[in-house]
Amino acid sequence: MTNERLKVYILRPKDRPTVQLQWVDPETGIRKTRSAETADPVKAERARADLEYELRHGKYQEASKLDWERFRQLFEDEYLAGLRPRSREKYGTVLDVFEQIIKPAKLRTVSERTISAFVKGMRERPAMKKIGLAPMTIKNYLVCLKTALAWAVGQKLLPSLPTFPTIKVPKKKPQPIPAESFDKLLAKAPNDLWKAFLLCGWWAGLRLSEVRELRWEQSAEWPWVDFERNRIVLPAVFAKSNEDQTVPLHPVLRQTLAALPRTAPEVFPFRSRRGGGRLSRNGATNRVLDMAKRAGVRLSMHKLRKGFGCRVAQLLGKGRAPILHELMRHSSMQITMDYYANVDDVLQEAISELTYQHSVPGLRSRRMTLRTVL
């Protein structure tokens, strides 16, 4: 609640080099003073207005003794409220894990040592029947935490942003998925609904969260199936890129989706086995992993999406990266190139060309050295 009656005044004491700011604490009635850290009238007025805003909105006191719980509430109400549902969910997960590992009491106790302990805790955290989160997961968690703390600095709830460590993530190329492996996974799907769910990754490269939220009817908020124009539409409000996107419907996927019963607004209205509520994103992930385990294959919805990208890249051939970029809906072309540019084929062709040039007389002027190729 704001206190519009609270006023901050400017004092110019003769025995001090800087202007002073003064106000009366509404809770204690005690007169308080602090330096504006400037003698310039314009800067002093700006400092006065800023302090008055902080005091009226309860942020000045919070800056000195703000509980972590109160900070998180402010961050969720004022920052996360404007983000997409999936983004809010992601930040919530990160902050939950941070609290479980660090157990912070005050916001100002978060420092470089705290961040280092958080990284250590994530590396030792049990996850999916193994110890330690993946490097990419750790890196993404740190990005979210850094964003939250940077917001606190901008709101003057934290004096400075702690230094974050650099997490090295191995760059692994997506590997093509043999059709036999996917067939084994598909055979373990308990019903047609789960088979269609898997086919959305295999034939459309959809992310798990996109498939989970897929709707039958046109929507400005959720992904929906547009049978009339043979595509899946992802509205800007939902799409990771914050712009309208579409994915073409493969004939097999179209036929499979069209045959499904429409019992709910969602195409995949899966229910939890425990509470009977809607199956969560983590619940859907675990169901797919369980099918893969029973099928004896190491697949997930994320790997199905990458496998889709590999197949499309092979079909398109070289020089068609923009098309692949549109189909995969990456946030930048660089991600498409990093993940799907087949350097091995380029080097193999270069070496073959070298061998050919050295074996044919009269081509000495056109020869390329391996150093040039590399």
Indicate whether 366 pLDDT > 60: no
**pLDDT number for residue 159:** 82
CA angle centred on 197, ends 191 and 203, rounded to 5°: 125
As given in the structure block, the two tokens for residue 318 are 């070289």
Are the C-beta atoms of 353 and 363 separated by less than 8 Å?
Answer: no
Correct CATH for 179-337 of 1.10.443.10, 3.30.70.2860, 1.20.140.10, 3.20.20.70? 1.10.443.10
| E strands in 17-58 | 20-24, 31-35
Are the C-beta atoms of 208 and 302 separated by less than 8 Å?
Answer: yes
Are the C-beta atoms of 75 and 84 separated by less than 8 Å?
Answer: no
Indicate whether 358 pLDDT > 70: no
Beta-carbon count within 10 A of 80 CB = 19
Q: Where are the domains of the chain?
A: 9-57, 85-154, 179-337, 344-373
Could you give the C-alpha distances from 337 to 110, 169, 185, 322, in angstroms and in order? Answer: 37, 17, 29, 10
**pLDDT number for residue 275:** 81
Which of 117, 86, 19 minimizes the C-alpha distance to 242?
A: 86
Alpha-carbon 97 to chain mean position: 15
CA angle centred on 186, ends 260 and 193, rounded to 5°: 20
Query: What does the pLDDT look like over 77-92, one tens digit per residue?
Result: 999 998 888 889 899 9
Query: How much of the chain, in percent, has pLDDT values that exceed 70?
Result: 86
Query: What does the pLDDT look like over 146-198, one tens digit per residue?
Result: 999 999 999 888 888 999 999 998 877 777 889 999 999 999 999 999 999 99
For the residues of 326-337, what is the DSSP string, one character each?
HHHT-SSHHHHH
For the residues of 111-142, what is the DSSP string, one character each?
-HHHHHHHHHHHHHSEETTEES--HHHHHHHH
Q: CA-CA distance, 141 to 133, in Å (whole number)?
A: 10
